[in-house]
Amino acid sequence: MKKIALSLFFVLMVPLMAWAGPEIKAFADRTRVALGESFRLTISVSGGDGEADISPVRDFRVVSQSASTHLNIVNGKASRRVDHIYTLMPLKTGQFSIPPLPVTSDGKQVYTEEIPIQVFNRPQQANDARRDVFVEARISTPEPYESQQMVYTFRLYQTVRIGNVKFQQPDFKGFTSEKIDGEKSYEKVIRGRQYHVTELNYLLMPLGPGPKTIAPAVLRCDIVRKSGRRRSVIDLFDDPFFSGGRLEPRIFRTDALKVTVRPLPPYPGDAPFSGLVGEFTLRSAIEKSELKVGDSITLSAVVQGRGNIMDAGPPEIPLSDAFKLYRDEPEADIRPGPDGYAGKKVFRTALVPVKPGTFTIPPLKLVFFDTRKGQYVSQSTQPFSLTVRPSQEQGNVAVYSAPGPKPGVLKKKVEFTGRDILPLKEDIDALKTQLPMPRWQFALFLLGPALICLLVRFVTGVTGRQDEPSRRMRARAENALRAAEKDVGGGNFLSQLYQAVISMILARAGTQGESLTCAEAEAMLRPGGCPPETAQGAARLLERIESARFGGLEMDESEKAALLTETRELLRSLMR
């Protein structure tokens, strides 16, 4: 009977024990914390596995989480416990609680108990022992103008050793941000205590006007606390794990910073506003003051200063159509520093005159908003005088201007001027003796061929002189093309191609010159019977050569070979 009772007991209790499931507990290492400090929440699952859901936690920020497993063997029986550890940080002061959290185990959901937490604000005059470590954040300009740069500074003060430091910078919403290279370290005495200070700086620029808030920065670390036991030989390692010290995990958070961004005042001037905000200077220079038609000089403009200099654009160059402009890529030397972005941008422009004469490059202007004066400031460079001489070509080289329409050919009415064959004499009167020729007629008969030869030679000479510019320009084009073929890898390759194309276009038009614009080249070829597609192709090729020549474009061997082949084909089509 006893055996039957024991059997029934085990049959009934084993399923009940299996149904009981794991044991779940939740507790905090402390229930009263200061704002800016952290505490640990532990959810312990014994006798099984479980997944906790902490999404219901609203008044605390989860900084980190980890898990640890514990195995115990007592009297041959093994037990297992899994601890889920969460490091939490309060968001504000007051009386709060960690609500019941659901834990899922073996397909079932179990809730933890509610845990009350009191968060208080620690006064600044707290015990110095509690201020071994603290942080602060400052902004250089609380009320900046739009696009004005400012510096955000984070400082860490410490009198004890810390480890496992992890810094989380603010997201800087509403600003562009860039960290200034290099952190600062120095010593500072505060209320009689000497602190070691570590400083980080970020360069900020507001994206628009209005009130903005910079979120707190968060620093997580472990403070090394000394233990009370006596030091031993192993303490030479100076490590808390060997010296008997303990690690106190802490979380520090700075205050949120309020920033009011002021809009720029309305701009009252006539010159265009550059969009620069800060303090800047403008200067310019040219290589020389005298040159020839078709040559080039470089005009350099340098914008230098402190502010949003990366937004600087090339200043406007108010020149007449007597020059062609080719802008180079700007050079920038800008670096973030303790006072913000500073540096310079260099803008270079190649000027190519197409007409001789004396010209003046007007002053270049730069209008920016000066943050110190709180007003718009205009700066100008000095004007430059340029003397452009005609190109030194054999004979007088005329600068070509596009011709107007040619007058139509006048047609004359056909008139009868005489007979070229005398009527045939078929009767007997044709055998009659003629009268003797007079002397003046005989002299005219003898001198007539000589006069005809002189007249033909005169007409041929005049025609040859009229055709001389075409022959000269064609010869110059062929010589320039041969020179370009020999100098593909040299520095005069593009200049020779340019001269070849210009000379052949001038030869086709029957004139001479030194320089043409793309529009003039196309206008010159069309009236001469050149197909429209050929005239347009010549203008496009001339524009490509000019851009590569004066714009500083780098070309490899294959690109130069292709450009040479295209030029050769164009010259052949123009010679037909």
pLDDT in tens, 536-548: 888 888 888 877 7
In tens, the pLDDT along 113-155 reads 999 999 987 655 444 445 789 999 999 999 999 999 999 999 9
- Of the given ranges (86-100, 303-317, 349-363, 476-490), which has the lowest mean pLDDT? 476-490
The answer to whether domain 278-389 and domain 469-575 are alike in fold is no
Average pLDDT over residues 389-401: 56
The chain-wide mean pLDDT, for the chain, equals 79
Find the largest Cα–Cα distance for the chain.
Answer: 186
Q: What is the pLDDT of residues 319-374, one digit of tens each?
A: 888 888 998 999 999 888 777 889 999 999 999 998 899 999 999 999 999 999 99
Cross-strand bridge partners of residue 18: none
Residue 314's alpha-carbon distances to 51, 349, 370, 380, 459, in angstroms, are 62, 9, 19, 14, 59
Task: Give φ, ψ of 574 to 5 degrees.
Answer: -75, -20
Query: How far lies 24's CA from each of 28, 108, 350, 401, 457, in Å?
Result: 14, 12, 80, 96, 124
Contact 183, 199 (CB under 8 A): yes
Confidence of residue 380 (pLDDT cuts 50, 70, 90): very high
Task: Using pLDDT thresholds of 50, 70 and 90, give the confidence band for residue 283.
Answer: very high
Sorted by sequence, the CB contacts under 8 Å of residue 116 that are 6+ apart come out as 31, 95, 96, 97
Output 198 or 576, whichever has higher pLDDT. Answer: 198
Beta-strand relationship, 365-370 and 218-225? unpaired
Q: Which residue has the tokens 């000479």?
A: 461
- Name the CATH code of domain 278-389 (choices 1.10.10, 1.10.3470, 3.40.50, 2.60.40): 2.60.40
pLDDT surpassing 80 at residue 101: yes
Which element (helix H / strand E) includes 4?
Answer: helix 2-20
Contact 307, 206 (CB under 8 A): no
Average pLDDT over residues 30-56: 85
Q: Is the pLDDT of residue 276 over 50?
A: yes
CATH class of 469-575: mainly alpha
**What pLDDT sits at residue 234?**
44
Q: How far apart are CA 136 and CA 159, in angstroms?
A: 15
Decide: 34 and 121 in contact? Cβ < 8 Å.
yes
Distances (CA, A) of 469 to 452, 489, 505: 28, 31, 12
pLDDT for the residue 66: 84
- 3-state SS class at 157: strand
pTM of the model: 0.55
* From the candidate CATH numbers 2.40.128.50, 2.60.40.10, 3.30.70.1520, 1.10.1040.10, the one assigned to the domain spanning 20-120: 2.60.40.10
**Three-state DSSP class for 308?**
coil
pLDDT at 259 exceeding the cut of 90:
yes
**Residue scoring higher pLDDT (232 or 476):** 476
Whether CATH 2.60.40 fits 128-261 = yes
**pLDDT grade for 42, boundaries at 50, 70 and 90:** very high
Contact status, residue 31 vs residue 60, Cβ threshold 8 Å: no
Mean pLDDT of 280-305: 92
Ordered by start, the domain boundaries in the chain are: 20-120, 128-261, 278-389, 469-575
Query: What does the pLDDT read at residue 393?
Result: 56
Distance in angstroms (rounded) separating the CA atoms of residues 231 and 237:
11
> Which pLDDT belongs to residue 204?
93
User: Vertex 437, ends 431 and 439: CA angle to 5°?
Assistant: 170
Mean pLDDT of 82-88: 88
- What pLDDT does residue 420 have? 44
**What is the rounded radius of gyration, in angstroms, for the C-alpha atoms of the chain?**
47
